[in-house]
Amino acid sequence: MHPMNHPTRAIVATMIVSFSLSFAAMWWQRRAAMLAVPVLITKTPRPSAPSIAPAFAPPAPSKDSPHPPVPVTAPAAATAIDAPSNNYDGPELPVIFSVLSKSVYTAEEDAQGAAVNVTKNVNEAIVVNSSDKPLTIIVTEVNIPTQEASQAQLVLPPGGQRHFGENDGLKMVSGDQLTLRSPSYRDLTRQIP
């Protein structure tokens, strides 16, 4: 075995210490990145004007047709949704239903048009079908003072769960009343906190 001289030992020791420190720094950076909690950023959709389907024009009648042509009328303008009347008949709606308020991170545009991450409080509802049959549920949200209403339809398989809210066309404003209605079941009503 050949003994190392003093300058060679110093160089080898320096290389080992440098490698160890570099490895430790990279390992800690990788571990910190793996432990970081990802943040979900969603872009809040902007409301758009409701679209009206174009009128369907029936084919022109032939000369030999005994029926007179049918006039085509434009669809009626959207009307306000009537608040549902209470349905007290029938068994209870077989669902577990709750309304909650949560904070989410969203990307919105500032005055200059740049994307900015903001925290926003939103209301969301959760419904679970606790029966062994599929359910079709009409959800109606009513602003009690103004009687302005919005609706959404949910289809839940047996044992199915569904989160619903603004993305389903509901306003989800605090103080509004949510009513769940399904044929042959009693209505279920909750107030948005």
In the chain, pLDDT over 90 holds for what percent of residues? 39
DSSP symbol at 167: G
pLDDT digits (tens, 9 = 90+) for 97-125: 999 888 887 888 888 888 888 888 889 99
Residues 6+ apart with CB under 8 A from 79: none
In a domain, 145, yes or no: yes
Q: How far, in Å, CA of 164 to CA of 156, rounded?
A: 12
In a domain, 185, yes or no: yes
In a domain, 45, yes or no: no
Q: Please give the tally of structural domains in the chain.
A: 2
Question: Tokens representing 65?
Answer: 């047709």
28-50 average pLDDT score:
46
Q: Name the least confident of 6-20, 50-64, 88-102, 120-134.
A: 50-64
In a domain, 167, yes or no: yes
CATH assignment at residue 180: 2.60.40
The pLDDT value given to residue 118: 85
In a domain, 128, yes or no: yes
Enclosing domain of residue 147: 95-191
Task: Note whether 21 and 108 are same-domain residues.
Answer: no
In a domain, 76, yes or no: no
pTM of the model: 0.52
Nearest to 39 by CA among 130, 110, 118: 118
Of 33 and 192, more confident: 192
The pLDDT value given to residue 75: 38
57 pLDDT above the threshold of 50: no
In the chain, pLDDT over 70 holds for what percent of residues? 63
DSSP symbol at 185: S
127 pLDDT above the threshold of 60: yes
Q: How far, in Å, CA of 160 to CA of 132, rounded?
A: 10
In a domain, 179, yes or no: yes
Of 105 and 40, more confident: 105
pLDDT digits (tens, 9 = 90+) for 160-172: 999 999 999 999 9
Q: Give the number of other CB atoms < 10 A from CB of residue 95.
A: 21
What are the DSSP E strand ranges found in 56-160? 95-109, 115-129, 135-142, 149-156
Is residue 53 a contact partner of residue 25, using CB atoms and an 8 Å limit?
no
In a domain, 118, yes or no: yes
3-state DSSP call for residue 107? Answer: strand
